[in-house]
Chains A and B, each alone.
Chain A
Amino acid sequence: MNGEIWVVVERKEDGVRRVCREALGRAAALGGEAVAVVPGGDPDEAAAAVAPYAKRVLAVAHPLLDDGDAETWAAVLAELIAVRRPAAVLGGATARCRGVFARLSARLGCGYAADVTGLDVTPGGRLRAVRPVLGGRAYATLEFRGPTPDLATVRPGAFPAPAAGLAGTVERVTPATGALTARVRFAGRLPLEAGPVDLAEADVIVAGGRGLRGPEGFRLVEDLAAAFGAAVGASRACVDAGWRDHSCQVGKSGRTVSPKLYVALGISGAVHHRMGMDSARTVVAINNDPNAPFFKHADYGIAGDLFELAPALAAEVRKAKGE
Chain B
Amino acid sequence: MNIVVLVKQVPDPEARVTVKEGGGPDALQVEDRWVTSYFDEIALEKALLLRGSLGGAVIALTAGGGKAADALRRAVAFGADRAVQVDDPALGHTDALGVARVLSAAVRRLAPDLVLAGRAAGDDEAGFVGGAVAELLGWPHIEEAVELDVAECCPGLRATRVADGAKEILDVALPAVVTAQKGLAVPRVPQVTNVMKAMRAKIEKLDLAALGLAPERLAPTVAVAGYQAPPARPPVKMIAGTAPEAARTLVGLLRDEAKVLG
* A123 touches B (CB below 8 Å): no
Given contacts A204-B260, A272-B13, contact A304 B170 (CB under 8 A): no
Nearest-neighbor residue (CB-CB) of A247 within chain B: B162
Given contacts A144-B222, A185-B172, contact A313 B17 (CB under 8 A): no
Q: Are A139 and B162 in contact (CB-based, < 8 A)? A: no
The interface-forming segment of B1-9, B43-51, B54-62, B246-254 is B246-254
For the complex, give the distance between the alpha carbons of A152 and B137 in Å: 22
Contact of B246 among A70, A102, A130, A304 (CB under 8 A): A304
CB-CB under 8 A from B161, the residues of chain A are 95
Q: In the complex, which of the residues A12, A103, A319 has the most CB atoms of chain B within 10 Å of its own CB atom?
A: A103
Nearest-neighbor residue (CB-CB) of A189 within chain B: B166
* B204 touches A (CB below 8 Å): no
Q: With both chains docked as a complex, state the minimum distance between the C-beta of A237 and any C-beta of chain B, in angstroms.
A: 13
Q: With both chains docked as a complex, state the minimum distance between the C-beta of A23 and any C-beta of chain B, in angstroms.
A: 17
* B213 touches A (CB below 8 Å): no
* A83 touches B (CB below 8 Å): no
CB-CB under 8 A from A321, the residues of chain B are 261-262
Q: With both chains docked as a complex, state the minimum distance between the C-beta of A99 and any C-beta of chain B, in angstroms.
A: 5
Interface mask (A268-311 → B, CB under 8 Å = 1, otherwise 0)? 00011001001001111100000000011111111111001100
CB-CB under 8 A from A319, the residues of chain B are 251
* B192 touches A (CB below 8 Å): no
* B38 touches A (CB below 8 Å): yes
8 Å CB interface, B162-200 against A = 162-173, 176, 181-183
For the complex, give the distance between the alpha carbons of A303 and B136 in Å: 53
Q: With both chains docked as a complex, state the minimum distance between the C-beta of B10 and any C-beta of chain A, in angstroms.
A: 9
Q: Are B223 and A145 in contact (CB-based, < 8 A)? A: yes
CB-CB under 8 A from B135, the residues of chain A are 71, 74, 102-103, 106-107
For the complex, give the distance between the alpha carbons of A101 and B127 in Å: 10
The interface-forming segment of A39-47, A51-59, A159-167, A249-257 is A249-257
* B39 touches A (CB below 8 Å): yes
Given contacts A99-B143, A110-B221, A186-B169, contact A138 B258 (CB under 8 A): no
Q: Are B128 and A114 in contact (CB-based, < 8 A)? A: yes
Q: With both chains docked as a complex, state the minimum distance between the C-beta of B253 and any C-beta of chain A, in angstroms.
A: 6
SS class, residues of chain A in contact with chain B? mixed
* B220 touches A (CB below 8 Å): yes
* A179 touches B (CB below 8 Å): no
CB-CB under 8 A from A247, the residues of chain B are 162
The interface-forming segment of B63-71, B75-83, B224-232 is B224-232
CB-CB under 8 A from A109, the residues of chain B are 97, 221
CB-CB under 8 A from A85, the residues of chain B are none
Q: Are A102 and B128 in contact (CB-based, < 8 A)? A: yes
Q: Are A145 and B221 in contact (CB-based, < 8 A)? A: yes
Interface range, A side = 35 or more
For the complex, give the distance between the alpha carbons of A317 and B255 in Å: 10
Q: Are A138 and B222 in contact (CB-based, < 8 A)? A: no
Q: With both chains docked as a complex, state the minimum distance between the C-beta of A132 and any C-beta of chain B, in angstroms.
A: 7
Interface mask (B130-170 → A, CB under 8 Å = 1, otherwise 0)? 11111110001111101000000100001001111111111
Q: Are B247 and A261 in contact (CB-based, < 8 A)? A: no
For the complex, give the distance between the alpha carbons of A197 and B251 in Å: 25
For the complex, give the distance between the alpha carbons of A304 and B261 in Å: 22
CB-CB under 8 A from B170, the residues of chain A are 184-187
CB-CB under 8 A from B214, the residues of chain A are none
Q: Are B260 and A261 in contact (CB-based, < 8 A)? A: yes
Q: Are A112 and B221 in contact (CB-based, < 8 A)? A: yes
Contact of B237 among A114, A198, A300 (CB under 8 A): A300
* A111 touches B (CB below 8 Å): yes
CB-CB under 8 A from A196, the residues of chain B are 164-166
CB-CB under 8 A from A192, the residues of chain B are 162, 165-167
Interface mask (A65-76 → B, CB under 8 Å = 1, otherwise 0)? 000011100100
For the complex, give the distance between the alpha carbons of A124 and B123 in Å: 29
CB-CB under 8 A from A96, the residues of chain B are 143, 163
CB-CB under 8 A from A254, the residues of chain B are 182
Q: Are B169 and A261 in contact (CB-based, < 8 A)? A: no
Given contacts A106-B132, A299-B233, A315-B247, contact A282 B260 (CB under 8 A): yes
CB-CB under 8 A from B142, the residues of chain A are 184
Q: Which 4 A-B pairs have the closest CB atoms?
A: A196-B165, A102-B131, A111-B221, A114-B126
B-binding residues in A (CB < 8 A): 12, 69-71, 74, 95-96, 98-103, 105-107, 109-115, 128, 130, 132-147, 183-192, 195-198, 204, 246-247, 249, 252-254, 256, 260-261, 271-272, 275, 278, 281-285, 295-305, 308-309, 312-313, 315-317, 319-321
Q: A95-B127, A112-B97, A138-B230 are in contact. List 16 more A-B contacts (CB 8 A).
A: A12-B164, A105-B221, A106-B136, A111-B222, A112-B96, A115-B127, A138-B228, A141-B226, A146-B220, A184-B141, A185-B172, A189-B169, A252-B13, A300-B238, A304-B243, A316-B247
